[in-house]
Amino acid sequence: MFIGSEEIDLKLVLIDSAQCFHWTEMRDGSFAAVVGGRPVRLWRAADGIHAEGGMSAPELRRYLDLDRDYAAVAEAYAHIPAARRAIELYPGMRVLNQPAWEALVQFILSANNNVPRIRGLVENLSRALGPEFEIGGQAVCGIPSPGRLLDCEEEELRAMGTGYRASYLTGSALAVAEGFPLDELREMDYEDAHELLTTLPGVGDKVADCVLLFGCEQASAFPVDVWVERLLRSWFGIECGGNRTRMMREARARLGEHAGLLQQFLFHAARMGDMEL
């Protein structure tokens, strides 16, 4: 199935840029995962991106954000040296539009963790509790549903390496099972959606912004971690006394409706050491 010929670096977006932690690079250079309970495999051919599995071409275009004009986003920030530099570094970057529940689980697990460790926790959880499929000759497992998490004792989750995050997972799963409007956040005003998300266990400002940016199509959400904090200070002069919530608000005020998209370029450049801090 042909998806499109737009410029996108699948390895950068799905594996290296820490937007999600459940894709696998296969031996043939393709990439496989379970997304929204459906297996999918993506690969690049001479004419563009192709896929197989349970998602349609329009669904995958939305997931990969292929219909957004990133050249226009770059133009909007061309007057800012740090933004221009970061965007130029990664012409194949896209910001994923993941299922909100999958983003929530992954970024709850991301708290006080590094990328390899997060990937390991997501894999452990998915192998133990998630749906399993075969695609491209390889088994792939999906992130477990809220109900599946609630069927599991917290001690079992802790044994998978989740530690104190086990109670956050079950608490958030219970809230979603009881009607928390997770899938409605994409249609809400950013401030209202952010405030509501932070009522969930284990969801602070940064996790909320990650969920909104990568799982709710809120392109102005601006997660601030240690890398972005350093870059905001050195390139933008944003200090705010080290208060990351205030830094996030200042960055959003300055950078506008696509602040979160720019954040992903800045974050990756800082984390990879491709921009001097």
Select from 93, 94, 97, 75 the least CA-distant residue to 84. Answer: 75
Residue 272, phi-psi category: left (phi > 0), alpha (psi -120 to 50), beta (remainder): alpha
Alpha helix stretches (DSSP H) within the chain = 10-11, 57-63, 70-76, 81-89, 100-109, 115-129, 146-150, 154-159, 165-177, 190-197, 205-215, 226-236, 244-255, 259-272
DSSP-derived 3-state class of residue 24: strand
Q: Which of 22, 194, 206, 268 is catalytic?
A: 206
Helix, strand, coil distribution of the chain in percent, nearest 5 = 55, 10, 35
**C-alpha–C-alpha distance, residues 117 and 113, integer Å:** 6
Select from 34, 13, 38, 50 the least CA-distant residue to 214. Answer: 13
Q: Which two tokens stand for residue 195?
A: 């405030």
**C-alpha–C-alpha distance, residues 277 and 274, integer Å:** 9
The answer to whether residues 181 and 175 touch, using CB atoms and an 8 Å cutoff, is no
Can 206 be counted among the known catalytic residues? yes
Angle between helix axes 165-177 and 100-109 (nearest 10 degrees) is 160
Which amino acid belongs to residue 178?
Answer: E
What is the set of active-site residues?
A: 206
